[in-house]
Amino acid sequence: MDRLVKPDIKEANIIFTRLEKCSTTFRLTNLMHTMTVAVSLTTTNPSLLSVSSPLSILPPLGTSSFTLWLSKPSDHPPISTPLESIIVKSSVVVTGKANQEQLHRLFSRPGPQIFKDAIIPISFVGPQVVEFLLSPVIKQDNAYVLSKAISVCDESQLFALLRSAVKCGNCYITSTLIECGADLNKRDSSQRSLMSLAIQSGKADMLDLLIDSGYVVDNSVDRLLHDAAAMNRVDLLEILCLGYLDIDVNLVDLHGRTALHVAAIYGHIEVIQFLVSVGGSPDIADQHGWTSLHCASIAGQEEAVEFLMNCSVYVKYALTKDGKTAFDLAVEKGHSDLYDMLQLGDALHRAARLGDVSEIKRCLVEGAKVNGKDQNGWTPLHRAAFKGRVESVKVLLNNGANVDMVDGSGYTPLHRAVEAGHVQVALALIGNGAKANMKGLKGVVPLHLDSFKNHLSLVKPLCKDKERA
């Protein structure tokens, strides 16, 4: 005979609850038709786990229930490898009766009369066990413990655990939960999605997992690019754009702001560059009429302002609903480093063109960049030289203007002065170190321009004197 009694379970599963005396019940049945059987129940760790009625009598074909207890309440499940277990021993009681002392003596003496009927593994299961496996104290994945713990979880518990796993960035447990039926497209009461939590976790492989597992973007509530932009994570933006080729890069949030607005507020220049490269528009205004340039300007994000200015010709002239330009907002916050880019540069170029010396000086005092270029690469000195404004040229030179700065065509201010036939300007530039033999992109030397032939005899001696010096 192999055994005298039979348990109704193959494993004992205890649903673990923190700081409570957790338990589970099971039944043993006497397989003998005519004989009474004594039963001994012990655990491999008696200080941790105990069984009610460890020494019992079962009548012929009788069945009894037993309770397995976690002896002491714990803050975390006492997971061990190998698993703890219940050892079931039995023996025939000839008289049909025995007291506890007699049973103790019976099972304390090994021999052929003692049967080892079963070894029942003990598992701690339930959502709190999965949460424990997500904690940083667990250094490796325990597939068996995890699968057992998940097996007793209902739908709502699976979803809550899935959210926790995504937040923690644990791809293994996330994948296991999805395979066990957790709904990755379900949202919490605030409509927060798992993908948004994955972005918050900062784990790129988690985004890949959710995309591969079938996460569906809902444009009515998802603002995934906004989340990644706020975190300054270009890598996450790339994964989203590659994973969802139809994703709307100009999707707006409740305030009418795009992901580009968000990146501009924080000054995340690499994010801004990426979003523009995939179609993000700097001209889109939010519900208050603010473009991304307005956002960058009021936040004093100099690098972001400079980049956005180069993305759109008209964006710096855009007005909010309050009638304010990006320059106005920068002034409000005292971001003087932005004045030149947003307005003073224009004012300085205009003053140089008109020969307004006092306005030039005012612009320079207020922070305008003396070598700031316009869309054609012209500096204020190019402007003044081309228009023949000698006094403006002198003021600009005295304030650090680069005499040999080239424009978008490779021409220096001297080229432009010679081109327009302004002798006095050319002399002033050469007198301040301008290179008379410097070639433009087309190989043109300033003093060889046809338009300057009539003045060549006046300028050449001075050029020769400079060369000898």
Q: How far apart are CA 45 and CA 124, in angstroms?
A: 14
Tell me the pLDDT band of 309, cut-offs 50, 70 and 90. confident
Tokens 């801004």 map to which residue? Answer: 272
pLDDT for position 155:
95
Model confidence pLDDT, tens digit, residues 49-84: 999 999 999 999 999 999 999 999 999 999 888 899
Model confidence pLDDT, tens digit, residues 139-176: 666 889 999 999 999 999 999 999 999 999 999 999 99
Model confidence pLDDT, tens digit, residues 343-355: 767 788 889 999 9
Which range has the worst mean pLDDT, 32-36, 288-292, 347-351, 410-414? 347-351
Q: What is the mean pLDDT of the chain?
A: 90
- pLDDT above 50 for 9: yes
Mean pLDDT value across residues 167-193: 94
Q: How far apart are CA 79 and CA 14, in angstroms?
A: 11
pLDDT for position 375:
67
Tell me the pLDDT band of 451, cut-offs 50, 70 and 90. very low
Most confident of 10-14, 108-112, 330-334, 374-378: 10-14
CB pairs under 8 A, 24+ apart, for 458-464?
Answer: 458/423, 458/427, 459/423, 459/426, 459/427, 459/430, 462/427, 462/430, 462/431, 463/430, 463/436, 463/437
pLDDT for position 462:
46
pLDDT for position 442:
57
pLDDT for position 468:
43
CATH of 5-124, one of 3.30.1600.10, 2.60.40.10, 3.40.50.620, 2.30.110.10: 2.60.40.10
pLDDT for position 467:
43
Mean pLDDT value across residues 23-33: 97
Which range has the worst mean pLDDT, 263-267, 369-373, 436-440? 436-440
Residue 413 is encoded by which pair of tokens?
């201010």
Model confidence pLDDT, tens digit, residues 435-445: 877 766 555 55
- pLDDT above 70 for 465: no
Position 464, amino acid = K
- pTM (global) more than 0.85: no
- pLDDT above 50 for 252: yes
pLDDT for position 323:
93
Tell me the pLDDT band of 469, cut-offs 50, 70 and 90. very low
The CATH H-level superfamily of 374-468 is Ankyrin repeat-containing domain (1.25.40.20)
- pLDDT above 70 for 17: yes
pLDDT for position 374:
76
Mean pLDDT value across residues 372-391: 90
Q: How far apart are CA 32 and CA 39, in angstroms?
A: 13
Q: How far apart are CA 275 and CA 437, in angstroms?
A: 44
pLDDT for position 446:
56
More confident site: 404 or 142:
404
Mean pLDDT value across residues 199-228: 96
Mean pLDDT value across residues 253-270: 97
pLDDT for position 107:
94
Which range has the worst mean pLDDT, 141-150, 154-163, 196-205, 263-272? 141-150
Instruction: Map out the domains of the chain as residue ranges.
Output: 5-124, 374-468
More confident site: 230 or 318:
230
